[in-house]
Amino acid sequence: METAAVAHVCYLNKIPFIAIRSISDNDKEAGQEAINRNYDKAVQQSYQFVSEMLEGIR
């Protein structure tokens, strides 16, 4: 929901905006334990995605 608010403000002000979100739980494992267990993997995958995306626009 926070991302939607920022996106809306950027849209209204004609400011380019992109959001990268990562999911750290799923339908098979949910809750804080799943988030804690998967956090590092989610961070690494987000980092990899953003790095590759930035390389593509250079």
pTM: 0.59
Instruction: Identify whether the C-beta of residue 45 lies closer than 8 Å to the C-beta of residue 22.
Output: yes
Q: Is the pLDDT of residue 42 over 90?
A: no
Mean pLDDT of 31-51: 86
- DSSP assignment of 1-58 equals -HHHHHHHHHHHTT------------SSS-SHHHHHHHHHHHHHHHHHHHHHHHHHT-
- Report pLDDT digits (tens) over 13-39: 999 999 988 777 777 777 888 888 888
Instruction: Identify whether the C-beta of residue 26 lies closer than 8 Å to the C-beta of residue 6.
Output: no
Mean pLDDT of 33-53: 87
